[in-house]
A and B are shown apart, each in its own frame.
Chain A
Amino acid sequence: DVVMTQSPPSLSVTLGQPASISCRSSQSLRHSNGNTYLQWFQQRPGQSPRRLIYGISNRVSGVPDRFSGSGSGTEFTLRISRVEAEDVAVYFCMQTTYWPHNFGQGTKLEI
């Protein structure tokens, strides 16, 4: 099975400053069809997760443009250009290239 490793486990950021979360997979997530099925989810306290990014870098409709995704192969990054109070959450990466699908362990973002 593919192993997804996120870092750091937690992150404390000052309002208005950038934040970056890394996600590494144990094998390339590039599918034989050329697509890479890596996505990012945000889970705010007391809420269900919601998807922010799919296909490495495609922002879901309604997600602020301060969120961006990048990477390829086995190394991926979620960046927040200027952290706001509403960004306090746990962030998960997830691969859906291979079965079983799986998640990273999560990164808790605090202000």
Chain B
Amino acid sequence: EVQLVESGGDLVQPGGSLRLSCEASGFPFSRSWMSWVRQTPGGGLEWVAHINEDGSDIYYVDSVRGRFTISRDNAKNSLYLHMTSLRGEDTALFYCLGWFSPDNYWGRGTLVTVSS
């Protein structure tokens, strides 16, 4: 059974930092692309960041580039998102996604709330 379990979401003040983690199982993690996608309180989905199998190709949406860092540890079947300089508009449910063609897997999400 495929599982993606996100953790690390919390209430944080503007300007603060958080590190999200995602533990994967049930599919070939080290051969899969991985992404973070967030869902805003209004319900829209926004793709945030993407990393290829060995971490050599990384992409970010413009609104987080320079503030967020995606990384992975294939030995631990884990994906990370280090978030700094957090803003109110970063408040969202953050999902971890796995891509192993033609399959696509989603976690249940971890909630990040940025507020003073």
Q: Please report A residues at the B interface, Cβ cutoff 8 Å.
A: 1, 39, 41, 48-51, 54, 58, 60, 90, 92, 94, 99-103, 105-106
Q: Name the contact of B44 in the complex, choosing from A51, A99, A103 (C-beta under 8 A).
A: A103
Given contacts A48-B109, A49-B45, A90-B43, contact A100 B104 (CB under 8 A): no
Q: In the assembled complex, which residues on chain A have CB atoms less than 8 Å from the CB atom of B108?
A: 48
Q: List 14 A-B contacts (CB under 8 A).
A: A1-B62, A48-B107, A48-B108, A50-B106, A94-B47, A100-B47, A100-B62, A101-B35, A101-B50, A102-B61, A103-B45, A105-B44, A106-B44, A106-B45
Residues of chain B lying within 8 A (CB to CB) of residue A1 = 62
Interface residue SS majority, chain A: strand
Cα distance A105–B61 in the bound complex, in angstroms: 16
B6 to chain A, nearest CB (A): 10
Contacts of B50 in A (CB 8 A): 99, 101
Q: Which residue of B lies closest to A101 (CB)?
A: B47
A1 to B106, CA, bound (A): 24
10 additional A-B residue pairs with CB within 8 Å, beyond A39-B104, A92-B45, A101-B50 = A48-B109, A49-B95, A49-B106, A51-B104, A60-B102, A100-B47, A100-B62, A102-B61, A103-B44, A106-B45
The verdict on A54 contacting B102 (CB below 8 Å), with A48-B95, A99-B59 known, is: yes
